[in-house]
Amino acid sequence: MVITSAEGAWVTDVTGRRYLDLLAGYSALNFGHRHPALVAAAVDQLGRVTLTSRAFHHDLLGAFCRELAQLTGTEMVLPMNTGAEAVESAIKTARLWAHRVKGVPEGTAEIVVAEGNFHGRTTTIVSFSTDEVARAGFGPFTPGFIVVPYGDLDALRAAMTSRTAAVLLEPVQGEAGVLVPPPGYLAGVRAACDDAGALMIADEIQSGLARTGELLALDHDDVRADLYTLGKALGGGILPVSAVVGRHAVLGVLRPGEHGSTFGGNPLACAVGRAVIALLASGEFQSRSRELGAYLHTRLRTLVEHGVAQVTGRGLWAGVHIAPGGPTGRMAAEALMARGVLCKENMPRHCASLPR
Ligand SMILES: *Cc1c(COP(=O)(O)O)cnc(C)c1O
């Protein structure tokens, strides 16, 4: 299919056919396509100034950072562009923090990550991917990462040492199949980090910003991370906007000149980002996701034992796991497309280790 226009939850292809877009740009379109408030903010800013570089300040950067910190209950904001850049920035920050604050000898800091992770596509990030298709052929890889099974607290604790800078994980693993970890796991990760004097980094790029029915997926468990990576919906589906947000004592280790971005925090990004923050501050999208998500999951669960092995996820975010012997995910997605519903198949290769 070839899309030519879109509005709200609907897209139209070149033949004029309409489809319900359930993928929602992998959470980049949490407010729907072309939300009027977001388009208006972008159009208005296009008539003023779009880019200054970070050599010069501009009049929206301070407000954007303050409002994003307020929204997320954090103290400091590092604006970037793509999600992968936010994750890279969090990795750099955690290493610097370990070397400068925790006292880990320079160049030996380790970051513990989870099997089945998806954090982006840069060479460092694919270095700790467990998806062979994402890795194969792209080496040599960046060292300093330890992979443990997702959802297994004992394995996590066993992997942590005095060199551990951080644990980096998705509160709900998106690309692994929209996997929600076992109850208590995320609070257990927090406790393990506290015990080891390590940072907890939550990659909320896909799970955050209302998709699961809360602002952040970690909010379901009342757990606070030291750093969060945000992206996707932060740009309202209009342009790439990402950020690392977190505690001042952590993000503040970066000194001027040690990190940067030509486009990060540009005026257009800040204008759209502030409009996104205003939508999220209203709580409307979180409650819509809770309400419609409960309905979606109730209805999807009726398919279990009718060709569906299980339905995972939270809010308006669901993974439908097809029972062995059924169609491939690709076939199911194409059959749904024929009925005017867009979703995306996935072939998680590493969810077997998830305790259930
Ligand atoms: C999409 C995604 C990323 C990478 O974001 P890009 O904007 O594609 O670089 C990182 N982490 C998670 C959890 C994601 O879903």
Check whether 156 has a pLDDT greater than 90: yes
Q: How far is CA 13 from the centre of its chain?
A: 28
* Residue 352 pLDDT level (bands cut at 50, 70, 90): very low
Residue-level pLDDT at 347: 76
Check whether 324 has a pLDDT greater than 70: yes
Using a pLDDT cut of 90, give the percent of the chain over it: 97
Pocket lining: 84 vs ligand 1, CB cutoff 6 Å: yes
Residue 175 Cα to ligand 1 midpoint, Å, equals: 9
Mean pLDDT of the chain, nearest integer: 96
Instruction: Assess if CATH 3.40.640.10 describes domain 40-281.
Output: yes
Check whether 308 has a pLDDT greater than 50: yes
Q: Looking at ligand 1, which residue's alpha carbon is closest to its atom 10?
A: 119
* Residue 353 pLDDT level (bands cut at 50, 70, 90): very low
Q: Looking at ligand 1, which residue's alpha carbon is closest to its atom 6?
A: 83
Q: What is the pLDDT of residues 33-62, one digit of tens each?
A: 999 999 999 999 999 999 999 999 999 999
Mean pLDDT to the nearest integer, 118-125: 98
* Residue 28 pLDDT level (bands cut at 50, 70, 90): very high
Check whether 90 has a pLDDT greater than 90: yes
Q: Is residue 91 helix, strand or coil?
A: helix
Beta-strand pair 145-148/164-169: unpaired
* Residue 355 pLDDT level (bands cut at 50, 70, 90): very low
Residue 185 Cα to ligand 1 midpoint, Å, equals: 22
Residue-level pLDDT at 348: 64
Residue 117 Cα to ligand 1 midpoint, Å, equals: 10
Return all residues near 314 (Cβ < 8 A) that are at least 6 apart: 172, 180, 212, 213, 217, 220, 293
For residue 66, what are its two tokens?
Answer: 């303050």
Residue-level pLDDT at 354: 37
Atom of ligand 1 nearest to the CA of 206: 15
Phi, psi of 332 (to 5 degrees): -65, -40
Where along the chain do its domains lie?
40-281
Residue-level pLDDT at 349: 56
For residue 306, what are its two tokens?
Answer: 């009718």
Using a pLDDT cut of 70, give the percent of the chain over it: 97
* Residue 350 pLDDT level (bands cut at 50, 70, 90): very low
Mean pLDDT to the nearest integer, 61-83: 98
